[in-house]
Chain A
């Protein structure tokens, strides 16, 4: 299903995204249970702390703090000298303590921004804050519909996993902008190693606040929170739907209700989630069990220094340093591991253009087919570099290299040795090729006549004949040159 085209409703669209990202720590936020809970049997990954048993106390995971600061810095935020945790109090079965340890008025960071392109136009969205809290447990409702379930099952394995909340300013003006913001944000989070970027499975979650106002107005319209969007496409569709729904209400003279609505993929619509909006009074107060954090300049700067080169900066450098087009640079730096692979190839002596073409072309196809990246494959970066060195030196031709790549990708091997063993070396000896060219010209008078008559395609078929005669080992460029020379004499 293709994305619906954006409809100009005549209103100004105001969107703010709230993203929750599970941090890639090894243990939970406030206890030492494993943070890798997804495969554990229900309620087998808990302890007195994350179970909220009487007498249990939280202890902060230092790595979670570091990852949050890293994220905040990557998003250009300010890190205040003093920050603390607060209790957010409410009752729900997936919240064992009856409160969530989160951050209220003095978060770990504030006032950042994210830049990205929307249809080629440079756009900036403010980041209000990035703060740290703990995740809740999960619930399964008997039957599929919450409102009709007579009982629910609670699993607390996920309870206490570190969760980073990234609140964006309501600076986004379209569903496209929202999607691009999210794409760029996700890319950065994965790049800096704090989150696995998995929207489908919920380790990365996105809620959208959508409102409309008259163009030129400064006050915000009624805000609707949209939840349950599990993919970039869902985010786009849901926001698009919501914009149109709100516009229709306003156009009809109605008023919008401030509410929470869930995206229902099957219906292609957002549905109101609360029949009676129960106002939450979270009664925030400072967490008495946790001393505050004072993150000194030295600590913050050491975290900043360890942030890897971010995707945009890396793409720009790839363009200038390796002479790649903006498009190619973006493709090669989309995922950090890929960018690392590219630079490893170039570092191993492969020329920039060749490395780029092969990595984006045949290598990418094989990685997809076998579900393993080059760096983890049997051939590995070193193997590919060796293979491409053979191409660049003229020892083998392009199609031989493709075949070898395909053969060796998963199992690995020594390309040079194989070339020698099987006699795959490119035939580049001019005299040898000239003899074959002569034979082919003699055997294909019609094709020659067609070529002389102006049909370029006929040349290709002659080249093909030479390749066939040499069992694919001829240097194709040389063959083409020789054929042209002979036929135009």
Chain B
């Protein structure tokens, strides 16, 4: 019987009981990919040799306690293709990096490898992590496991779909403005964005440096917590990495929410929500109340400025981060006699439209004469937004709200970039303030998953898991699997 669709916890237990081997889990994962990926396109490449070697290693580690087996030892995982893996193509979903093979491995990935995890492959994503539907990938869109004609969300659509389709129990994505939480919501899985700085960005192809974070997808909150802990912690190679030790997210996981104060930001429950989303989230909040939390409405007045702030800061940083893609030392080069022409042609052909849009926007916002009006101003509004969260957290312990204003939409349905940006309105402010946030399933609307978002103060990642775990334990959504998971 295939292990496809099982949680990592269940797989880990089976491994320890000797009921299954890492090689068998890997084979099941590969079979599931083989069966489903032609219609989902979640994977860009399989890291076969590495996976086989890691399965070997995991077998050794499970036999010998001294070898440092991590909690994901022997577990198949998938990695968003913005995470460098030495010797394997890492494309960031872009043509400009089509054959780029990094000579080094990202810290987060190395920690997984050191603990015996088995990386099955690199997942598809919006080009350079810019997008909310994975339609901006240069390698084709990804299907939503619940309805392959619909988007899985983005930019980590491939990683979300890989878990949602039962290919792997754990995958890793990145979240800059919602790119883990929103696809998790649309694919009916758990997706966690850590406090900014909790997980090393060394080896993560940068989009917006002050906003990017690596985080896990999983079927359950506990799995997500384990997957987070497996990669979290200070990295001397990342100067923005938090120095304080990581609080174990499992220690208080089952403490429940009795006596906790939860806030619902009124600006997050506004008119932009689909009716079904509003209903499911409202029900979910009621469940938390029944579990003993006190729930009150709070206000984050600058929420509506979040989108504008983000769409100045993120493009500004990315316009600089993407300057290195010039065809000189790696990646695609469109050769022309002069250097300048080479730059112009290479970047015009190598980058897709959304990337060009953001690079143009960012360049403009930083350019002489506009810096004060756009970039500097946006960084100040960012402070205002962050302070509003601080104020609200003086009266409540965590926030609960929807993740995405809508359920999964049809591929191709949204052509207007601004309309696409609105998908991140409820997730962006969390990145601007550097807070931890999670999305977990809270029901369906028109048979499509709806996600509940939980947000906590900076460095209170454990608290996010605790609130989410309490809701999850009182409901059955985490047991649901997309129909295509089973044969």
Question: Nearest B residue to A154 by beta-carbon distance?
Answer: B328
CA distance in complex: A283, B210 (Å):
17
Cβ-defined contact, A285 with B323, below 8 A:
no
CA distance in complex: A97, B330 (Å):
12
Query: Which chain B residues border A52 with CB–CB below 8 Å?
Result: 324, 329
CA distance in complex: A156, B329 (Å):
10
Q: How far is the CB of A291 from chain B (nearest CB, A)?
A: 6
Interchain residue pairs with CB less than 8 A apart (17): A52-B329, A53-B103, A54-B84, A55-B83, A55-B84, A55-B203, A56-B202, A57-B202, A57-B240, A59-B237, A59-B239, A89-B323, A98-B320, A283-B371, A288-B210, A288-B317, A290-B240
Q: How far is the CB of A488 from chain B (nearest CB, A)?
A: 85
Interface membership of B348, Cβ < 8 A: no
Interface membership of B209, Cβ < 8 A: yes
CA distance in complex: A150, B92 (Å):
33
Taking CB atoms and an 8 Å cut-off, the chain A residues in 148-163 that contact chain B are: 150, 152, 154, 156
Cβ-defined contact, A150 with B337, below 8 A:
yes
Query: Which chain B residues border A219 with CB–CB below 8 Å?
Result: none
CA distance in complex: A89, B317 (Å):
11
Taking CB atoms and an 8 Å cut-off, the chain A residues in 276-309 that contact chain B are: 281, 283-285, 288-291
Interface membership of A42, Cβ < 8 A: no
Q: How far is the CB of A201 from chain B (nearest CB, A)?
A: 26
Contact of A281 among B237, B329, B368 (CB under 8 A): B368
Contact of B326 among A56, A57, A91, A288 (CB under 8 A): A91
Q: How far is the CB of B351 from chain A (nearest CB, A)?
A: 13
Taking CB atoms and an 8 Å cut-off, the chain A residues in 214-258 that contact chain B are: none
Q: Supply 18 further A-B pairs (C-beta < 8 A) apart from A55-B83, A55-B202, A59-B237.
A: A54-B102, A54-B205, A54-B324, A55-B205, A57-B202, A57-B238, A59-B239, A91-B326, A93-B339, A96-B329, A98-B320, A99-B320, A99-B323, A283-B367, A283-B371, A285-B371, A288-B240, A290-B240
Question: Nearest A residue to B368 by beta-carbon distance?
Answer: A281
CA distance in complex: A444, B102 (Å):
91
Q: How far is the CB of A94 from chain B (nearest CB, A)?
A: 9
CA distance in complex: A51, B106 (Å):
16
Interface membership of B90, Cβ < 8 A: yes
Q: Which residues of A contact B (CB under 8 A)?
A: 48, 51-60, 87, 89, 91, 93, 96-99, 150, 152, 154, 156, 281, 283-285, 288-291
Contact of B209 among A98, A150, A289 (CB under 8 A): A289
Cβ-defined contact, B320 with A57, below 8 A:
no
Q: How far is the CB of B383 from chain A (nearest CB, A)?
A: 13
Question: Nearest A residue to B84 by beta-carbon distance?
Answer: A55
Cβ-defined contact, A48 with B102, below 8 A:
yes
CA distance in complex: A48, B83 (Å):
14
Query: Which chain A residues border B330 with CB–CB below 8 Å?
Result: 53-54
Cβ-defined contact, B329 with A60, below 8 A:
no
Interface membership of B204, Cβ < 8 A: yes
Interface string of B384-396 (1 = CB under 8 A from A): 0000000000000
Query: Which chain A residues border B84 with CB–CB below 8 Å?
Result: 54-55
Interface membership of B206, Cβ < 8 A: yes
Q: How far is the CB of A473 from chain B (nearest CB, A)?
A: 68
Cβ-defined contact, A283 with B368, below 8 A:
yes
Interface membership of B156, Cβ < 8 A: no
Cβ-defined contact, B106 with A55, below 8 A:
yes
Cβ-defined contact, A54 with B90, below 8 A:
yes
Cβ-defined contact, A96 with B328, below 8 A:
yes
* In the complex with contacts A98-B324, A99-B320, A283-B368, A51-B240 CB distance below 8 A: no
Query: Which chain B residues border A150 with CB–CB below 8 Å?
Result: 337
